[in-house]
Chain A
Amino acid sequence: MGSTGPSPPRAAARVLRLLLSRQAFDEVGAALTELFRRRVARVGRGAARRWYWRQVLGLALRRRSINGGSGGEGWMKGSVRDFALAARTLSRAPMFTGVAALTLALGLGANTAIFSVIHGSLLRPLPYADPDGLVWLSDGHPDIGGSGVNQSVPNFLDLRDGSKLMRSAAVYRRLGANLAAEDRAERVTVLFTSSEMLGVLGVVPTLGRDLRPSDDLVDAEPVALLTDGLWRTWFGADPAVVGRTAVVDARSVRIAGVLPRDFWFPGEPRLVMPIQHVGAELSRGSRSYNGVARLAPDADVEGLRAELQGIFSGLVTSYPDANQGWFTWAEPLSEWVGGGAGRSLLLMSGAVALVLLIAVVNVANLLLVRAETRHHELAIRTSLGARRTDLLSLFLAEGILLAVAGGALGVVTAYWGVDALVTAFAGALPRPDAISVNGTVLGAGLALSLIVGVLVGLVPLARIRPDRLQSHLKDGSRGSLGRGSALGGVLVATEVALAVVVVAGAGLLANSVWRIRQVDLGVTRPDRVMTFTMTLPATSYPGVSSIRGFADEIDRSIGVLPGVQAVGFVNRLPLLGGDNTTVTPFGDPAREVNFTSIRYITPGYFDAVGAPLLSGRWLDPTEFSSGAPAVVINETLARQLFPGEDAVGRRLGVRWVPDGLLVVGVIGDIAGGRPDRPPPPAFYLPLATVLEAWSSVPRGPNDYWGLSALVRTAVGPRPLMPAFRRAVAAVDPQLPVSQVRTLQDIAVERLGTRRFAMSLFGVFSAMALLLGAVGIYGVMSYTVAHRSRELGMRMALGASRSTVRRMVLGRAARIVLPGLVVGLVAALPAGSVLGSLLYEVSPQDPWTYLGVAALLGGVGLAASWLPAHRATRLDPMESMRAE
C-alpha cells in the first residue's frame, strides 16, 4: 500500500516528525508521502521535493491546529499558556533560575557592552554627508613605519592643485590653544584648517557663516567657529554671539559662526579657525598638517593614491631637501578614524562571543541536569496527554524566558560596563562620544537573547523521550543517569575548551604587556615625577628673554616647595614622541640620522627624569644660561653617528646651527612614544640655545612654545599639584595648565590599545574561569548525588575515603583533561590572531599555554574538590537506604 517508491526529502520528513505528534504524523506524514509519490510521477523529482518542503513549512506553521485535533486552539493562546507555565515552573526553582539568568546576563551583558563600543567606534557612519566619499591624506617614510605622518602645507597645495580625482580638499592641524572669553580661560583643542574644510565634510554652520577663502589670507582678521557645546557652555547659547570676540592665545578673534550640535572631528576640537596660510611663508619640509578630501564622482581611493604619488614624485624631484625618501598616501577617512582600535575591538568581540558560548553551554548543562531531575513531573505531563511538541514548546518557553531575563539584566550591566569602558579607555577608542547603549544595540541584544533562548531550550529535549517517560512512571526509576551525565560531561568539557582559548588570549596579552613594562624606560621612579604642559603663545611671549624669564621664575617658585627635589622644562615629555630633525656628524653630511628626537631643556631636567650619565659630563649652568651650542646625546645616537668611537668631544651637524653642536656627554636611552620600538636617537640641548638659534625665524600669529614641566618629589607628587598650579598662576594668570599626569601615567597610557585589550581579555578570562568552575562543580555534584548509592556500597565494602575521593576526582579529570587538550589545540591558531598586539611573545608561547593549562587544571580540581569531599562524607547505610 504505497510503501514503495521514491522517498520524500529525509531532512524535511525528520522536521515533520519532530513537529507533529505521533498520531498526527502517522496520518499526515503518510498522506504527504503518498501525494509526494504521485507528484514525482507527474512533475518530476526535483519539483516534487520542493513541493514537499513547502508543505512541511505550511504544516509547521499550523502544527498546533493539526496536532490539536478537535481542540482547534490558536497559536497565540498556546504560546501564552506555554510562557505562563514556564514562568510558574521557573519561579518554583528560584536558585536554578537565578543562577541560569545571572550566567546568561554575564555573557549577554558583556556582548552588549562590546557591541556598543564596536557600533559607536566603527560601525556608526561618521557624522558627515556621504562619509564614504571622504579620504584622509598623509605622508609616509619607510624609516618611521610607513604612512600616517603629517604633511606640509606647500606639498598639500601642490597635490590638491594637480589632482583631478579630488573634488575638494582641505588641509588642517589640531592644536591646543588658550581660550579666554566671558571671564573664563581654558585650554581647548582648535581645528586650524583651510577654509574648504566644512564644505568637504558637508557640514553647514547653524549660526553665522562658514570660513571663506578671504579668511585664509595671512593678514586677514582672525575668525573662529564655535562648536555647539562651547557656544552653550561659554556663551549661554546666545544667538547674538556672531560678531563678538574671544581671545585665543592672547589674540583677539572674531566669532563668525556656530557649528551644528552633531559636529565632530577626530581629536574633538571645540573651535574651528583658519590656518591663514595664504601669503604666509610656510616651509615645505615642516610636516605638521594633514589633508581631508572628497573624492570626485567615480574616483576611488586606489586611483587617487596613484594619482597623488605621481604628482608627489615630481615634488621629490623639484624639492629633494624636503621630500627625498618620502611618499604620499590616501586612505578612507573612516579607516583612519577607526585606526588600530578596529582590530583589537574585533578581537574583543571574538573573545566575548566565546564567553557567551560558555555561558550558553553552562545554562544548557543546568537545564539538562534539571530535565533529568524533572523526569517525574514530565512523566505526569506526558501521561496526561502532553506530546513531545508540547514539551518542546515548554522547554523553548523556559529557555527564552531565562535568556530574556538574562538579557535584561545584561543590558543593565552593559550600561554600566560601557560607561566604565569609555571612562577607562577613552584614549584608546576612536570615537568615545559616539558610544552608547542605543536602540540598535538593544535590538541586537534582544535578538541575541532570543537565539540564546532557543539554543538553551532545545538542549534538554535531547534527553527527554515521552515514550520512556511512560515506563519511568511505572517503575519509579531515576531515569537514564549514565547517559545524562555523559552528555553533561561533554558540555562541561566544551566549556573548558572554550575557556582555554579565552584565557590563553589573555595570557599572551598579559605576557606582552608585562614584557613591555619590563623594558627599561630609562627614567627613575616615574611615579614620583609630576608633569604638566603649558603653551606659551608667541603673541604674549614674543622673544627669547620672555620665555626664559617665565621658565626661570616658575623653576624658582616650585623649586623651593617642600618635598620638591628637581624641576625641569622640556619641549616634549619623555616617553612620548616629539619633534624630530636630521643630524649628521659635523662635516659629514652623507652619514645622516633621520628622525632624531630633539629635546630642549632647562638645567633641572636630567635630575627630574633621573637618566644615567654614561660618559662625559652634564651640561653646565653657564651653557644653560649662555645658550652655548653644546649637547648631551643618548646612547643610540652616539652609536649611530660615531660607531665604535667616543662621542664626547665630537660635533653634531644640524642645519640651523652653522658650526655644529659640541657633544659634552652621553646619557642612557629614554623610551619613545612607541612601546614596541627601540628608543629613538635623541639629543638634548639648552632651551636658551634653541631660542637663540630660532630667534631670527619670524613667528606667525598661531605660533606658540609648548613647554612641559617635570617635577620630581620625595613622595607621591599628586598632593603638591595645587601648589604647582598656584606657582604658574602667580607668573601668568592667563596661562592654562593642561595634561596633568605623572610620568608613570604616561608610561601606562603609551600601552594604549594593548592595555585596553589586555584588561578586557582579563575580565573575559575571569568570567570564563568562573563559568567553567560553576559548570564543573555542577556536573560533579550531580554525579556524586546520583552515584551516592554506588559510592556508599563501595565504602560499605571497604573502600577508603581516599579511594572514593580519587574516584570522583578521576571522573572530573576525565571531563577536564579532554577539554584542556581540545582547547589548547584550538588556542594555538587562535593565538596568532592577536598578531600585532603581542610584544616579544610568540603566539605559540609554550610557557603561556603551560600556565593556562595549569590554571584551568587547578580550577577544575578546585571545583570538583567539594563534591569529592562530600562523597567521602557519605554514610554508606544511609545512602543505600535512601534508594
Chain B
Amino acid sequence: MPSAALGQFEHQVLLAILRRGAESYSVEIVDELERQTGRDVATAAVFVSLQRLKAKGMLRDRLVAPGPEGGHPRRYFSLTDDALSALRDTRRSFLSLWDGVESVLDEGGG
C-alpha cells in the first residue's frame, strides 16, 4: 500500500474530487467540501492538502492556460490509482470496524 497514512482532511479532499467525478480545480473542491460538510473550509488547508496528496502520488495535476476571455491559469487535479486504492482500503477497514455497531448507535441514539 503506497504512503499509507491518509489524514482525515486529505481523505475528505480525495472524496470531494471523487464525488465531482472529473478533474477539479481548487475552487470547485472547496465548494464541494463546504457543500458536503456544511461548514466553512480553510482554503489554506485545502491548498496544503492538495500539495501533500500530490507529493504522496495520490493526485495528478494539469495546468490549464486561461481561455480567450482572460483570467488566470487553473490547476486541475484528478485521482491516481494509488488514491483510489487508498480510498478503497480506508473504506474497507472502516466498514469492518463499523460492522455490527451501527444498529447499536441507532438504538442508543433513539
Contact with A along B58-81 (1 / 0, CB 8 A): 000000001101111111000000
List B contacts of A240 (CB < 8 A): none
Q: Does A51 contact B (CB under 8 A)?
A: yes
Total interface residues in chain A, CB < 8 Å: 26
CB-contact partner of A28 in B40, B47, B67, B69, under 8 A = B47
List A contacts of B48 (CB < 8 A): 62, 65-66
CA distance A31 to B46 in the complex (A): 11
| CB within 8 Å for A65 and B43 given contacts A1-B69, A27-B75, A38-B31 | no
List B contacts of A72 (CB < 8 A): 51-52, 55
Q: Does A59 contact B (CB under 8 A)?
A: yes
Q: Does A32 contact B (CB under 8 A)?
A: yes
Which stretch, B8-16, B22-30, B83-91, B93-101, touches the partner chain A?
B22-30
CA distance A1 to B69 in the complex (A): 6
Which of A26, A34, A70: most chain B Cβ within 10 A? A34
Q: Are A2 and B43 in contact (CB under 8 A)?
A: no
| CB within 8 Å for A58 and B31 given contacts A1-B70, A27-B75 | no
Q: Are B30 and A35 in contact (CB under 8 A)?
A: yes
| CB within 8 Å for A55 and B31 given contacts A3-B69, A70-B51, A70-B54 | no
What's the least CB distance linking A41 to chain B, in Å?
12
Which chain B residue has the least Cβ–Cβ distance from A52?
A: B43
Q: Are B75 and A65 in contact (CB under 8 A)?
A: no
Q: Does B42 contact A (CB under 8 A)?
A: yes
Q: Are B52 and A31 in contact (CB under 8 A)?
A: no
Which chain A residue has the least Cβ–Cβ distance from B69?
A: A1
Q: Are B27 and A34 in contact (CB under 8 A)?
A: yes
Q: Are A3 and B70 in contact (CB under 8 A)?
A: yes
Q: Does A855 contact B (CB under 8 A)?
A: no
CA distance A27 to B73 in the complex (A): 7
CA distance A66 to B47 in the complex (A): 7
CA distance A30 to B43 in the complex (A): 12
Q: Does A385 contact B (CB under 8 A)?
A: no
| CB within 8 Å for A58 and B26 given contacts A30-B71, A30-B72 | no
Which chain B residue has the least Cβ–Cβ distance from A59?
A: B44
Contact with B along A20-46 (1 / 0, CB 8 A): 000000111111101100100000000
Q: Are B43 and A32 in contact (CB under 8 A)?
A: yes
What's the least CB distance linking B24 to chain A, in Å?
12
Q: Does A486 contact B (CB under 8 A)?
A: no
Q: Does A562 contact B (CB under 8 A)?
A: no
What's the least CB distance linking B16 to chain A, in Å?
14
Q: Does A730 contact B (CB under 8 A)?
A: no
What's the least CB distance linking B107 to chain A, in Å?
39
What's the least CB distance linking B3 to chain A, in Å?
12
List B contacts of A850 (CB < 8 A): none
List B contacts of A58 (CB < 8 A): 42-45
Q: Does A61 contact B (CB under 8 A)?
A: yes
List B contacts of A27 (CB < 8 A): 26, 72-75
Q: Are B72 and A62 in contact (CB under 8 A)?
A: no
List B contacts of A61 (CB < 8 A): 44
Which chain A residue has the least Cβ–Cβ distance from B45?
A: A58
Q: Does A69 contact B (CB under 8 A)?
A: yes
Q: Are A26 and B52 in contact (CB under 8 A)?
A: no
Q: Are B71 and A66 in contact (CB under 8 A)?
A: no
Q: Are A31 and B44 in contact (CB under 8 A)?
A: no
Which of B45, B51, B72: most chain A Cβ within 10 A? B72
List B contacts of A26 (CB < 8 A): 72-73
List A contacts of B45 (CB < 8 A): 58, 62
CA distance A508 to B67 in the complex (A): 70
List B contacts of A1 (CB < 8 A): 66-67, 69-72
Contact with B along A65-85 (1 / 0, CB 8 A): 110111010000000000000
CA distance A724 to B34 in the complex (A): 93
Which chain B residue has the least Cβ–Cβ distance from A25?
A: B72
List B contacts of A30 (CB < 8 A): 71-72, 74
List B contacts of A65 (CB < 8 A): 48, 51-52
Contact with B along A398-428 (1 / 0, CB 8 A): 0000000000000000000000000000000
List A contacts of B69 (CB < 8 A): 1, 3
| CB within 8 Å for A35 and B72 given contacts A1-B67, A69-B51 | no
List B contacts of A28 (CB < 8 A): 26, 43, 47
List A contacts of B43 (CB < 8 A): 28, 31-32, 35, 55, 58-59
CA distance A65 to B47 in the complex (A): 9
What's the least CB distance linking B25 to chain A, in Å?
7
CA distance A1 to B43 in the complex (A): 20
CB-contact partner of B47 in A34, A51, A59, under 8 A = A59
CA distance A29 to B73 in the complex (A): 11
Q: Are B71 and A2 in contact (CB under 8 A)?
A: yes
List B contacts of A34 (CB < 8 A): 27
List B contacts of A54 (CB < 8 A): 42
What's the least CB distance linking B48 to chain A, in Å?
5
| CB within 8 Å for A51 and B75 given contacts A66-B48, A70-B51 | no
Which of A3, A29, A31, A54: most chain B Cβ within 10 A? A31
Which chain A residue has the least Cβ–Cβ distance from B40?
A: A51
List B contacts of A69 (CB < 8 A): 51
CA distance A32 to B41 in the complex (A): 12
CA distance A54 to B42 in the complex (A): 8
Which chain A residue has the least Cβ–Cβ distance from B48?
A: A65
What's the least CB distance linking A47 to chain B, in Å?
10
| CB within 8 Å for A62 and B44 given contacts A38-B31, A69-B51, A70-B51 | yes
CA distance A31 to B26 in the complex (A): 7
Which chain B residue has the least Cβ–Cβ distance from A51?
A: B40
| CB within 8 Å for A35 and B66 given contacts A55-B42, A58-B42, A59-B44 | no
CA distance A382 to B71 in the complex (A): 27
| CB within 8 Å for A55 and B25 given contacts A1-B66, A26-B72, A26-B73 | no
What's the least CB distance linking A239 to chain B, in Å?
65
Which of B25, B40, B44, B48: most chain A Cβ within 10 A? B44
List A contacts of B55 (CB < 8 A): 70, 72
What's the least CB distance linking B80 to chain A, in Å?
14
Q: Are A3 and B71 in contact (CB under 8 A)?
A: yes
Which chain A residue has the least Cβ–Cβ distance from B46?
A: A31
What's the least CB distance linking B82 to chain A, in Å?
15
CA distance A51 to B42 in the complex (A): 10
What's the least CB distance linking A831 to chain B, in Å?
51
CA distance A65 to B70 in the complex (A): 28
Q: Are A31 and B40 in contact (CB under 8 A)?
A: no
List B contacts of A51 (CB < 8 A): 40
CA distance A26 to B72 in the complex (A): 7
Which of B42, B47, B71: most chain A Cβ within 10 A? B47
Which chain A residue has the least Cβ–Cβ distance from B66?
A: A1
Which chain A residue has the least Cβ–Cβ distance from B44?
A: A58
List B contacts of A2 (CB < 8 A): 71
CA distance A28 to B30 in the complex (A): 12
Which chain B residue has the least Cβ–Cβ distance from A66?
A: B47
Which chain B residue has the least Cβ–Cβ distance from A32?
A: B43
What's the least CB distance linking B56 to chain A, in Å?
10
CA distance A129 to B44 in the complex (A): 51
CA distance A70 to B48 in the complex (A): 10
List A contacts of B73 (CB < 8 A): 26-27
List B contacts of A62 (CB < 8 A): 44-45, 47-48
CA distance A1 to B66 in the complex (A): 8
List B contacts of A29 (CB < 8 A): 72
List A contacts of B42 (CB < 8 A): 54-55, 58
Other contacts beyond A30-B72, A55-B44, A72-B55: 8, CB < 8 A: A1-B72, A3-B70, A27-B73, A27-B74, A31-B25, A31-B30, A31-B43, A35-B31
Can you give 23 A-B contacts (C-beta < 8 A)?
Answer: A1-B66, A1-B67, A1-B71, A1-B72, A27-B26, A27-B73, A27-B74, A29-B72, A31-B25, A31-B26, A31-B27, A31-B30, A32-B43, A35-B43, A38-B31, A54-B42, A58-B42, A58-B43, A58-B44, A61-B44, A62-B47, A62-B48, A65-B52
What 9 A-B pairs have minimum CB-CB distances, sorted nearest first?
Answer: A1-B71, A30-B72, A58-B44, A31-B26, A59-B44, A65-B48, A70-B55, A55-B43, A62-B44
